Amino acid sequence: MSIILEARDIRYRYPRGPEAISGISFHIRRGEKIALVGPNGAGKSTLLQMFNGMIRPDSGMILFDNKPILYDTPSLRHIRQRVGYVLQNADRQIIAPTVWQDVAFGPANLGYDEQTIRNAVADALRHVGLEGFDRRPPHHLSGGEKKRVAIAGVLAMDPDVLVFDEPTSDLDPSGSEDIMELLDELNHEGKTVIISTHDVELAYPWADRAILILDGRILEEDKPEVAFGNIEHVRMAHLSVPTLLELSMELGQRGYDQPDRKPHSVLDMVEIIENLLHGSSWNHKPGTITVCNVDEEQDTSISSYVTSRENMAVGTMGTRAKQRALQEQLTVEFTYGVIDKCILRALRGQDSLILTTGSMAGRVVTRVDAYGKESGNIIRVHPFGSSGQPSSTCNVNGKTE
């Protein structure tokens, strides 16, 4: 993968203040999910604001797409269109009196024509699940909805890189999960996503790489299990070791065999424990997972499908899937980490249904397949409407696995 953002020995001092960034170098590849983790005042936000040229480093340089960022007005406009920045406080980011106007702000200032603006706004709003909110004033929205408007405002400019400063800080747990799910969705569509956070539990399973920052320096930069596994550094950065990682390390210290790949999810942990207890996690006849692409199943009734089957749990991936579930008044059990939770259910011998949208349908098959190869447990994934037929091949969204 090519490098999209690179920092070379950057330093920055606030006017009349202490040095906020003291010599940082790193690079971010296209399509990566990066978590910048560190305590308050470590320099996370300052660093993030350098990515779109809001702050110019005193020395060193930032490269975008292997070219140094220039600080003249046309170059800054270009970089800000390619690198979308979402502020921590959505209230401060939303400047227009209606949702539509706010989302249209970026495209209008980029000089798009009217029709392109309309399309960009409609696309962005659909993406974050706020269709029909066009004329609502921002002060009538909930915290999570405001955050979505802020994200839509950046998405409407179609950036390559999305930078989020503390994306979940003002949200309740379910709102946070929704936003992290949305970030996953965006990443899956090819966007590079960078977040700053001090929530290690959120960053650990989500990120491809974690960068620990303390006092304007990089303390550790590695895969999350390595970065958060260094207890010394984690303590120095005023963070805590993620529970799953701590559990795995504790088991390892007690002499229980631990696989090389550290657990990233409850599923991974269950797998490890069952292997310790029974030598395998293969206990029951496994349940099945049915995948329903809500874009293709506009007319079928999902609720009658669910009620006609006993003990069928429903999980949703993506905002349109959530809306559909709401429309059909389905009880949704999983909205985050859906695939893993459905695999867990299948291992208990129970069936589940995943509602999802176009691009993510294939992901279910890939993930279940990968799990199957790793653990030797074969779980069947059916496309919606053909479940019940004995078929081990999955054909979801035209993709044969």
Partner 1 sequence: MFETLLDDVAQKNTFRHIHPGTKILLGLGSLLICLVSPAPVVPLVSGMILTIVLLVPARISPVVYGELLIAPAVFTAFSIVVLLFMLGSGTVIWQFSPASWINLTITDGAVRQSTLVLCRVFGCTTSLFFIALTTPMTDLFNLMKRCRIPLELIDLMMIMYRYIFIIYKQAHEIWEAQVMRLGYSRKKEGIHSLSMLFGMLFISSWTAGEDMIHAMDARCYNGIFPSLDQAEPIRIRSLLPVILYLTFLGGVLLVTIKGVTMPL
Interface with partner 1 (CB under 8 A): 52, 54, 76-77, 80-81, 84-85, 87, 89, 91-98, 100-101, 104-111, 117, 134-140, 153-154, 157
Reference 100, options 82, 121, 115; nearest CA is: 121
The DSSP call for residue 70 is P
> Cβ 107 to partner 1, closest distance in Å?
8
Query: Among residues 127 and 382, whose Cβ is nearest to partner 1?
Result: 127
CB of 3 to partner 1, least distance (A): 23
Q: How far is the CB of 104 from partner 1 (least distance, A)?
A: 4
Burial annotation 223-260 (CB, 10 A radius, 16+ → b, else e): ebbebbbbeeebeebebebbebbeebbebeeeeeebee
Question: Tokens 């920052």 sit at which residue?
Answer: 213
Smallest distance from partner 1 to CB 359, Å: 26
Rounded CA gap, 197 and 143, in Å? 18
Which residue, 135 or 348, is less far from partner 1 as judged by CB? 135
- Least distance to partner 1 from the beta carbon of 252, Å? 44
138 or 263, CB closer to partner 1? Answer: 138
CB of 34: closest distance to partner 1 in angstroms? 19
Smaller CB separation from partner 1, 117 or 212: 117
CB closer to partner 1 out of 117 and 180: 117
- Between 97 and 173, whose beta carbon lies closer to partner 1? 97
57, 68 contact by CB (below 8 A): no
Question: In this structure, are residues 194 and 51 in contact, taking their beta carbons and an 8 Å threshold?
Answer: yes
Are the C-beta atoms of 352 and 344 separated by less than 8 Å? no
Q: What SS3 class is residue 247?
A: helix
Q: How would you write 102-150 as a 3-class SS string? A: HHHHHHHHCCCCHHHHHHHHHHHHHHCCCCCCCCCCHHHCCHHHHHHHH
